[in-house]
Chains A and B, each alone.
Chain A
Amino acid sequence: MAGILNSKITTLAQKSLDFRSKRHDVLASNVANMSTPGYQAEDLVFESTLAAAMNADQPGPLKTTNSRHLDGRNTPPLELAQAQRIHSAAPHPSENGNTVDLDKEMAKIAENQMMYNASLRMLQHEFRMLKTAISEGR
């Protein structure tokens, strides 16, 4: 199940990097379209999906006596977790129907970038540990 190269941390970091770069796409689109009439600001949410998927291999609330029984849990495993695309409308859209709030978008880009770097560092750390093990601590 969890081998040395596909541990849960590696999969989580990989999934998180994937989502962060997609979210960056969406946020960059919002900034590019900040003066397009009628454009609706969008965002990707995935934190809750990822958190739920982390525990997807725990047994569900129903008792199973056969491997083909369903255990009543319907969270997808980490590998199949999907982000949701939502409209992140500003409370006061401008008169041309555009709902992009530039300050919010720039803050989101900065936050997303930091979280991306955090995931990257987590992955780097994981690899460094592997390397230490492979080289017998030398």
Chain B
Amino acid sequence: MSDALATSWTGFLRPDGRKGVRNLVLVVYTVECAQHVSYAIANGEEDTHVIGFPGCYDNAYAIRLMLALARHPNVGAVLSVGLGCEYTQPEKIADAVRASGRPAEWFFIQESGGTRTSVAKGKEIVTRLRAQIRKETPRVPMSLADLTVGCECGGSDGTSGLAGNPAVGAFFDLLVNAGGRAVFEETVEMIGLREHMLARAASAEAKQQLAAAYDKAERYCKSVRQWSVSPGNFAGGLTTIEEKSLGAFAKSGSRPIQGVIRVAEAPRGPGLWILDSVPDEHFMQFGYTNPNDTEGLMDLISVGSQIVLFVTGRGSVIGSPVAPLVKITGNSATFRAMADDMDFDAGRVLAGELTLAQAGRELAGLVARVAAGEPSKPEQLGHREYFIMYKHQETPSLSEGCRA
């Protein structure tokens, strides 16, 4: 499997210089009222995914996140669909996407005559956009050095910290060595590891960023009395948030941490980065951090991850739009029980069948194959769960977030 490090495949070159592993049309709804029409437009269409925001009142975090997804390396063109009375403006989304060099269109349902005519109009636009990007998008060689890969864990049990996350850590070390970018998040799952984490900082500046992100996460958890540990985690053998953190942090591997990025902000260079997705303090109070695994994945994709990894000990059946999701479990019983959903069995490390280093190389090979076009298990099953909610976070500018 060591050839994964040298392997190359054909990707899609975007106007900002980033390279995608898929060539998608994205339909973006700007309020819940336009959600049904948007999914109906994408239904049955190849390479067409849906994202959006359910709220009528707009939210800077949600808009930045949607724009980052709409200008993601895996996305070639965008159709934005609004109802016609919401705050979030589909025309502005289309403008921002066009400014990134991608074709984009938009319309209001209220100006298009209702559900049936809006769906027909949307399908006609998607067909046209897809034909255009299939014809015009330049193809380029890609390798691991061109990849940004994000990782989070969910439905964790005792095996996640022992095998699932360490296997990702071994892969992340290889990815960083190859010149790629590795991103992990969930600072609320680093609680209890402050000194351990600061010792990994690549620079004094990175250390200061890590300390600020850690301290904010602890203040957040204390103030909302919500710690990122769930009934399933306890049943799986994890007893405290500190213990869960220990396992969650294992996905970071062993390389220095270059610094902290925020939602919709691309890593500022190669190497290992932490994504801070915790809300900032605000007059409406903290609000909730990511309410479920899916919003965490959307945050990881928003920083430009062309592929995302999900480590689950107990098992999970989610997928994601925009970037393929690769599912890893450290629990071989879960791998067997959910064979159609699981991509990688890191439980073999616990059984002594594989070393961690071998697991990392095998995972690198799998990621390279998915990048080359092989559908991951969630892609094969058609999983494209999507969720974002209101949140307040000091958002980076579009040029920082999307490298216009």
Say if A and B assemble together.
no
Instruction: Give the interface of B toward A (CB within 8 A).
Output: none
Instruction: Give the interface of A toward B (CB within 8 A).
Output: none
